[in-house]
Amino acid sequence: MTHESSGTGGGFDVDRNVDVLVIGGGPAGVWAALAAVEKGCSVAIAEKGYLGTSGPFGIGANTGIYYAMPNDPEQRDTVVMARQPIAFGLSDPAWGYRVFDQSYARLDAMAKWGYAWPRNKDGKEDRSHVRGPTILHFLREVMLEKGVTILDHSPALELLVSDGAAAGARGVNKQKGGDWQVKAGAVVIATGGTAFLSGIAGDRTHTGDGYLLAAEAGAEFSGMEFTSQYHAAPTDTYLTRGAYRSGTGTYYDNAGNPTLEGRKMVQSIQATGGVWDQLDKTKDPEVQDLMRKQHSACFQYFSRKGIDPFNERYPVSFVLEGTFRAGGGIAIDDDLQTRVPGLFAAGDVTSREKLSGGGPPGGGPAAAWAFASGYIAGGSAAAFAAPVRDVASRRRITAVGKLGFRPARKPVITPDEVIRVVQEEMHPYDKNYWRNAASMQGSLDRFNHVWGEVSGHYGYAPQDTDKATARAKLRAREAVALLATSRWVYASALERTESRGLHRRTDYPDLDPAQAQHIISGGLDRPYVRRVPHLATLSLAEEALA
């Protein structure tokens, strides 16, 4: 419909009133917007980059996706139950059926709208792999046709609330400068996870912004201890999308001994100084050619380096993916609503414990979760917004952003310095992959010290142009978001005195059956944690959180 760029008064370059505002333009955000508009809502979607080309999904060449065939009970059961052993007792199979059925329906909807699915050599459609850039481009056009307002290059910096309920957001345009405001009857946060700027594909726009927005409004988190996900990637690329080599090659340590991904890889790197990869299990030229076509981004790297990955070894790094491919995130109920009325969340920014428990969701389930949770959240947001449609634009609103908004030409600590501290505590294997109480408490003490500084004379440095100033404001908020997220991660990890799934403690190396509970965290100046029981069809109602 429109790409907003002109002002409408009120001190904002863009000032809109809609039924539903979606923050984040990845697959979860896009499906949230489409679900809301299907319910008759006016919808705006604010994306930090350009919707269709940013984030891990927007630049990924090929991503697997799980779905359950609606007329094949055996296949549905197999898809759902296959994930349960690596969920470590904290998932809900009912949510597996719900998510995979819904992801199938979303893929089917795309076909009905005219999306041309690739076909295999037998001429049949292949919906098991989704090509992020082409799908987001297609769905962008669908959204425009349906009247969704797209705000590109427009990160949200703070939420608006009215009488305790979400009522919109404010942000900046990082390409043109200036501020925007969108008032809404409901808000969906779909800003994705964060790898703490480890450098993996798509992480530059994913800095934990959605966590900070939600927490400032009063939302909580679940499973933030299940965020220590690392993945192998060709060194200097950080293309950690592993499907291109799954089952096709062998990892070797620096001494030439075969090794495996995961704990063995960390041990090999620490013991021998490095790890190498070779796609030496793939001998068929036709299969090799198919891999080159399906995973062009990865093979462009090999071409530039002059590497034949099928016949030569190349160095790999084991890189932090953080909450991108992990379990923890914003706590949600069965309607994808947070504990803040009118504030919904979807995709990687949410806790995926309902689907994957304490283990990694993997690429296929994660893609299914994004499609399904976005659609569910958007429909729920539409239902919430409908009764307040006539009064939403006239409500008294309050912006709830707290830190990083103050102009400060000489801050005590700069955003880049804050980010450096976070990375020094979150990236290393001996702090975040292998955890223990002393190390985590040391990291938390350092974080708390820095938090004290950002709570004082911290802010953005005003620049000579509107564009540069907008980016300075954004950077200040990104740093606070990363710092806050790190505190919730280690506070939750200290509380869980066992090893379970993506949470590995050297001082508590065994799984404790008595700790099959969820760790809820929250708070800004004083982070807190508490345990809630694992329930079948987990609901985060107040009585369950008491």
> Is 328 a residue whose pLDDT tops 90?
yes
Listed ranges 129-143, 321-335, 437-451; the one with the highest mean pLDDT? 437-451
Average pLDDT (118-141) is: 78
Considering the domain architecture, whether residues 131 and 69 belong to the same structural domain is answered as: yes
Considering the domain architecture, whether residues 329 and 283 belong to the same structural domain is answered as: no
Average pLDDT (121-148) is: 83
Q: Cα angle vertex 370, ends 365, 374, to 5°?
A: 145
Query: What's residue 336's pLDDT?
Result: 98
Query: What's residue 95's pLDDT?
Result: 94
Domain boundary among 288, 320, 352: 320
Dihedral in degrees, nearest 10, Cα atoms 485, 491, 495, 497: 80
Considering the domain architecture, whether residues 145 and 278 belong to the same structural domain is answered as: no
Considering the domain architecture, whether residues 158 and 235 belong to the same structural domain is answered as: no
37 versus 295: the higher-pLDDT residue is 37
pLDDT band at 241 (very low <50, low <70, confident <90, very high): low
Domain contains 181: yes
> Is 2 a residue whose pLDDT tops 50?
no
Query: What's residue 201's pLDDT?
Result: 76
Neighbours of 468 (CB within 10 A): 14
Q: In a 10 Å sphere around its CB, with 0-12 CB exposed, 13-18 middle and 19+ buried, how is residue 409 labelled?
A: exposed
| Residues 134 and 57: beta-carbon distance below 8 Å | no
> Is 43 a residue whose pLDDT tops 90?
yes
> Is 458 a residue whose pLDDT tops 50?
yes
Query: What's residue 541's pLDDT?
Result: 33
Structural domain span for residue 78: 14-227+323-399
Considering the domain architecture, whether residues 329 and 316 belong to the same structural domain is answered as: no
Average pLDDT (174-192) is: 96
> Is 452 a residue whose pLDDT tops 90?
yes
Considering the domain architecture, whether residues 145 and 194 belong to the same structural domain is answered as: yes
Query: What's residue 539's pLDDT?
Result: 41
314 versus 297: the higher-pLDDT residue is 314
Q: Cα angle vertex 476, ends 473, 479, to 5°?
A: 150
> Is 237 a residue whose pLDDT tops 90?
no
124 versus 227: the higher-pLDDT residue is 227
Query: What's residue 130's pLDDT?
Result: 66
The secondary element (H helix, E strand) that includes residue 14 is: strand 14-23
pLDDT band at 540 (very low <50, low <70, confident <90, very high): very low
Query: What's residue 246's pLDDT?
Result: 65
360 versus 425: the higher-pLDDT residue is 425
Which amino acid is located at 286 in the chain? E
pLDDT band at 199 (very low <50, low <70, confident <90, very high): confident
Considering the domain architecture, whether residues 51 and 139 belong to the same structural domain is answered as: yes
Average pLDDT (104-129) is: 82
Lowest mean pLDDT among 64-73, 314-323, 325-334: 64-73
Considering the domain architecture, whether residues 57 and 104 belong to the same structural domain is answered as: yes
What is the pTM (predicted TM-score) of this model? 0.92
Domain count within the chain: 2
CB contact burial 435-448 (16+ within 10 A = b; e otherwise): bbeebbeebbeebe
Considering the domain architecture, whether residues 165 and 189 belong to the same structural domain is answered as: yes
Average pLDDT (65-82) is: 86
Query: What's residue 492's pLDDT?
Result: 98
Query: What's residue 189's pLDDT?
Result: 98
| Residues 195 and 321: beta-carbon distance below 8 Å | yes
Query: What's residue 3's pLDDT?
Result: 34
Considering the domain architecture, whether residues 185 and 62 belong to the same structural domain is answered as: yes
297 versus 427: the higher-pLDDT residue is 427
Domain contains 42: yes
The secondary element (H helix, E strand) that includes residue 345 is: strand 343-345
Domain contains 419: no
pLDDT band at 142 (very low <50, low <70, confident <90, very high): very high
pLDDT band at 244 (very low <50, low <70, confident <90, very high): low
Q: How many CA atoms lie within 13 A of 167 on its CB side?
A: 17
Q: Which residues contact 264 (CB under 8 A, 6 or more apart)?
A: none
Domain boundary among 284, 301, 320: 320
Considering the domain architecture, whether residues 207 and 283 belong to the same structural domain is answered as: no
Considering the domain architecture, whether residues 212 and 252 belong to the same structural domain is answered as: no
120 versus 258: the higher-pLDDT residue is 258
The secondary element (H helix, E strand) that includes residue 171 is: strand 165-172
Domain contains 347: yes
CATH number of the domain encompassing residue 270: 3.90.700
Lowest mean pLDDT among 146-150, 291-295, 313-317, 529-533: 291-295
Domain contains 49: yes
> Is 182 a residue whose pLDDT tops 80?
yes
Domain boundary among 277, 295, 320: 320
Query: What's residue 410's pLDDT?
Result: 73
pLDDT band at 30 (very low <50, low <70, confident <90, very high): very high
The per-residue pLDDT for range 500-535, each reduced to its tens digit, is 999 999 999 999 999 999 999 999 999 999 999 997
Domain contains 80: yes
Share of the chain above pLDDT 90, in %: 70
> Is 45 a residue whose pLDDT tops 80?
yes
CATH number of the domain encompassing residue 336: 3.50.50.60
Query: What's residue 4's pLDDT?
Result: 38
Q: In a 10 Å sphere around its CB, with 0-12 CB exposed, 13-18 middle and 19+ buried, how is residue 503 labelled?
A: buried
Domain contains 499: no
pLDDT band at 129 (very low <50, low <70, confident <90, very high): low
Instruction: Tell me how far apart the alpha carbons of residues 16 and 11 are, in angstroms, rounded to a whole number.
Output: 12
pLDDT band at 369 (very low <50, low <70, confident <90, very high): very high
Mean pLDDT of the chain: 89
